[in-house]
Every structure is written in structure tokens, then in C-alpha cells.
Structure 1
Amino acid sequence: MPFTENDGISLYYETDGPTDHDTVAFVGDVAFGAWQWGWQHAAVAGPFESLVWDFRGTGRSSAPDGPYSVAELAGDLEAVLVDHGVRKAHLVGAGLGGMVALQYAKRFSRAKTLTLIGTAASGDRIAPDVRERLLAEKTPDALSDSLRPVVSEDVFADGLDEVVEWRLADDADRPAQRAQFAAMEGFDVSDSLYEITTPTLVIHGTDDRVVPVDAGKSLADGLPRGELRTFEGAPHLVHVERSKAVNDELVDFLAANAEKTFD
């Protein structure tokens, strides 16, 4: 159970898979714990080494007072990768995590590829009314209701009891949620996307109510090596609801840009 520190902040991470293969580092969405990557982990750990870490304010990492910034979170990611001895990493980020991956690729040299899920180049693309619905006290009813903007109505109606249990254990408390949302709101690389030449796969659900699909299209268009995959009718948590199709796209993209995978 490795921990590392950045500017006095304790950061927790876990790895799985062969250490002599490419590392895929997952960078989570605002307020959500590591549970959000459970649908990708099995697909990645094996052909690659998987690394999942808790943002400051989330899971087992420290929860300093906010607000946070995307630059600080990118610095946290660098501390984790340095601690694990990673020379290059494929970064897979969702929402806020995609913003962190973009900032990381601008500032540091370890990003081999980026996969950005439900991500925008600027925090002003986040729907403000939805933001308030995503903020939730850590009670079962509140956490369940706050999933409405990020999943489809059918999935919500079927019940999300297991996800709520994971959220109770690992998600950020409300002050840290607000601190992470502040990081999103203060982020903007829309005028400097041309500087990010890392190969990038942009994945977006067409029914994303948090980050409009047009923001994903603009992101892919603005990146010199960006390519877009949209999923018709999929919500913000497209990598959860359409995990098989998303995983197929992800693994193909990673394999095409990997130094070494299993045969």
C-alpha cells in the first residue's frame, strides 16, 4: 500500500500488473474515489501495469483545505509517478482527471499518451446547474441522488446500491468536493492546446450532462494529435456504462502507442 508526499500532502496509490510493461496511470473525476476505474482495471492490468491513485481530498490521501488547482493536482501526479519509478506513463483521465492529464502533459515530460474521458479544455464548459447537483453530503440518499447527472435514467432506475457503498468508503467529503470543483472552474488551456503534442484519444458520451459533447469535439480538434470517439446516448460516466466498448478503444489505442505489451 504505497504512499508518497508532495508538499506535505500524503498521496495513496496502488499498482497491479507486470512492472516491465508500460504503466497506465488513471486520473479520476471530481469527488469520485478509485472505484470509478473498476471497469477498466481488468482490461488494462496484464497487458500493462495499472496505477490508480487518490486525489488529495479523496480516499486514503490527505484532505487539505481548499481550494485546489489543477496545477497542484498535476504536481501530485508527478510525485506519485516519481515515487513509483515510472519513466513514461499513459494517462487516462475522466472529467477533472482529464484536465489534470492535460496540465501534466504541458508541464512534465512523462506523459506518453493521453486518454481523456468527458473532458473539456476549460472549466467554463462545465454546466453550472449540474455542478450543484453533483455536490453531496456523504449519506446514502444524497450520494445516490447525485449520480443522476452522470448516469443514464435506466441505470439509475435499476439501482446503484453497490456504487453508493463504494462512494461512502472512498469519495471526497463535501469540503474536498468543493475544493476539487474549484480546480475545475479555474482551469483553462483552450488557447494553448497546440502546445500539447502527446498522442491523445478523446472519449465522450453524446448525452453527457456535465461536459457537453461539443466540448469534447473542440478538445480533440484543438489538439495536434487528438482523435475523437463518441458513444451515442452515453452519459458522463461513459467508461462505466459502456465499459466494454470504451475498453476496446482504450486498449487498442494504448497498444498502438506502447513500447511493450503481452503477445
Structure 2
Amino acid sequence: MAFVQLQDGEMYYEIDGSADDQVLVLSNSLGTDLYMWDSQIASLSKSFRVVRYDTRGHGKSLVTPGPYTIEQLGQDVLALLDALKVERAHFCGLSMGGLIGQWLGIHASERLHKLVLCNTAAKIGGAEMWGPRIETVEQGGEQAMRELQAGALGRWFTPEFARDHADKVKAVTDALAATSPVGYAACCAAVRDADFSKQVSSIAVDTLIICGSRDLVTTVEDAHYLQNHIHGPELSEYYAAHLSAVELGEIFALRVKAFFLS
């Protein structure tokens, strides 16, 4: 097990691939852990040194009092790169991970080769969406996290995928149920407060946007906003819901790999 020491605790990470290859950082969505990327590792690790980590408040990483900010989560990524002595890396983030990617693209572009923003938006929801969820989790604790599983199923996966790949769905939603209520609520606040609508135009690194045609959380329209406000990005739309990386598997890995290697 590998941990990097941050100022206020330890962040858990795993590395796959050759130390001679360029580094690719994978950043998970709200309520998942680094194993969300399992179906991409075999393919991506053939071409990259893949670093995936549990975001603060999730998995085996530190849980500190909230609320968090996306800037704080972005600084955690920079601290991880510093600890691994990585000057520049490719970055691929999904949903909350995509917000972290936007922050890095805006504020730390010198640390990036290329950027992939998956199933994300310049702003994801508002206080009316996040306020009740934060309150529910803060009051209900671990039981509330278990109850979030049912609602996540319909948001995260298309009905066909949920029916045909029950094992993969269970693995991901079980991670949600096991997430720290304190960490989850704190990250909900970070997502609630993040709004890069007026800043994404400053992202100058090569960017790929991936969206799902059945994503009701971060919609195709959200992806088009990013496409229209970031300079010259590529856009790929797939039949998928919110966790497109899980649904698409190898297709997702091949698209990301082609972009990073182009």
C-alpha cells in the first residue's frame, strides 16, 4: 500500500506501468475510489505510468473536517506529483475529478501535458441540489451513505449496463456506501461551490472532453459549454450515463490513449 504524506494526513495512491513512460494521473468522481478505473488500467499502463489516487475524503485517503474546496483538492494533486518527483503529467478526471482537472488547467497548466475532462461541467448543480444531500449525509451518517446507493444507480449507469453488468455496478456502488460521510459531505461542498464558467477560457493545454448522451448529471450541453469556451478542445460523445469510464471500459481507454499519444 502506498501513501504520500500531505500536510494534514496521508493520501493513498497506486501506480501501474513503466517508470520510463510519461505519467498519467486518473482522478475519480464523487463517491467512488481509485478502483473506478480498473477497466482502463491494463490498456493505459502499456503506454503510461498510471497514477491513480483516492481523493481526500474517499477510500483509504485522509478524511479531514470540511468543507473542502476544489482548489484544496487540486493542491493535493500537485503535492502528490511533487512527492513522486513528477514535473509534468497527463491528467484525466471524471465528474469531481473533471472539476479538479479544470482547476489544474486554469491554475497549474505548467504541470500538465494534456488534459481529459470526462462527464463534468464548469458548474455542477447548485445549492438547491447539494444542500439537502449534504444535510442528509451529515445527519444520517453511514446509514445515509448506504441509502445513496439506490439513487446513484440510475444516475451513474444506463439501464442496459446496470442489467448486464451487475458485478461492476455493485463494486462501484459499494464503494459509495463505504465512503466516509464526513469526507463525502465535504467534497459535496467543494463541488457545490466550484464555478469555472468564467475561467475555463484560460485553459491553454490540449484538452479532450468526453460526455455521455444519457448523463443526466453533467449533460451533453455542459460538455458543449466547455467545448465552446476552452480553446480548441476535442469532444467525444458516447452512449453512457455519468460514469462513462466504467460503462465504456476498453473503448474509453483507447480514446484517452489515442488523445494522449497524438
Pick the TM interval, shorter chain. 0.7 to 0.9
How far is the alpha carbon of 1:9 from its aligned partner? 2.5
Q: Amino acid of the residue matched to residue 213 of structure 1? A: V
In structure 1, C-alpha distance between the alignment counterparts of 2:38 and 2:211, rounded to whole Å: 19
Equivalent residues in 2 for 1:171-182 (5 A)? 171-182=178-189
Please say if 1:238 is aligned against 2:244: yes
Aligned 8 A contact 1:71 1:103 in 2: yes
1:226 pairs with one of 223, 233, 236: 233
How far is the alpha carbon of 1:5 from its aligned partner? 2.5
Query: Could you say what secondary structure the match of 2:98 adopts?
Result: helix
The aligned residue for residue 50 of structure 2 is 50
* Residues 161-192 of structure 1: per-residue CA shift (max 9 Å, x gap): 45434554575222322211111111111112
Query: Could you say what secondary structure the match of 1:216 adopts?
Result: helix
The aligned residue for residue 129 of structure 2 is 128
Q: Amino acid of the residue matched to residue 181 of structure 1? A: C
The aligned residue for residue 259 of structure 1 is none
Larger helix percent: 2
Aligned 8 A contact 2:32 2:175 in 1: no
In structure 2, C-alpha distance between the alignment counterparts of 1:227 and 1:7, rounded to whole Å: 36
Q: Amino acid of the residue matched to residue 11 of structure 2? A: L
* Residues 202-236 of structure 1: per-residue CA shift (max 9 Å, x gap): 000111011111001110221113111111x3211
* Residues 21-62 of structure 1: per-residue CA shift (max 9 Å, x gap): 111000110111112101111111021110011111111111
The aligned residue for residue 99 of structure 1 is 99
Aligned 8 A contact 1:143 1:164 in 2: no
Equivalent residues in 2 for 1:1-263 (5 A)? 1-108=1-108, 109-124=110-125, 128=129, 132=133, 137-139=144-146, 142-158=148-164, 160-165=166-171, 167-168=173-174, 171-231=178-238, 233-256=239-262
In structure 1, C-alpha distance between the alignment counterparts of 2:126 and 2:221, rounded to whole Å: 9
Q: TM-score, normalised by structure 2?
A: 0.88
Q: Amino acid of the residue matched to residue 11 of structure 1? A: M
* Unaligned ranges ≥5, structure 2: 138-142
Q: Amino acid of the residue matched to residue 214 of structure 2? A: D
Q: TM-score, normalised by structure 1?
A: 0.87
Aligned in 2, Cα 1:162/1:218: closer, same or farther, shift over 3 Å? closer
Which runs of 4 or more aligned residues in structure 1 lie more than 6 Å from their structure 2 counterparts after TM superposition?
Answer: 133-136
Q: Amino acid of the residue matched to residue 27 of structure 2? A: V
Aligned 8 A contact 1:126 1:211 in 2: no
Query: Could you say what secondary structure the match of 1:26 adopts?
Result: strand
* Unaligned ranges ≥5, structure 1: 257-263
Q: CA RMSD in A?
A: 2.5
In structure 2, C-alpha distance between the alignment counterparts of 1:159 and 1:239, rounded to whole Å: 14
Aligned 8 A contact 1:12 1:53 in 2: yes
The aligned residue for residue 140 of structure 2 is none
Q: Amino acid of the residue matched to residue 102 of structure 2? A: L
In structure 1, C-alpha distance between the alignment counterparts of 2:12 and 2:23, rounded to whole Å: 17
Aligned in 2, Cα 1:126/1:216: closer, same or farther, shift over 3 Å? farther
- Taking only the aligned residue pairs, the percentage that are identical comes to 25
* Equivalenced residues, count: 253
* Residues 62-96 of structure 1: per-residue CA shift (max 9 Å, x gap): 11121111000001001111111111110000000
Q: Amino acid of the residue matched to residue 221 of structure 1? A: N
Q: Amino acid of the residue matched to residue 184 of structure 1? A: V
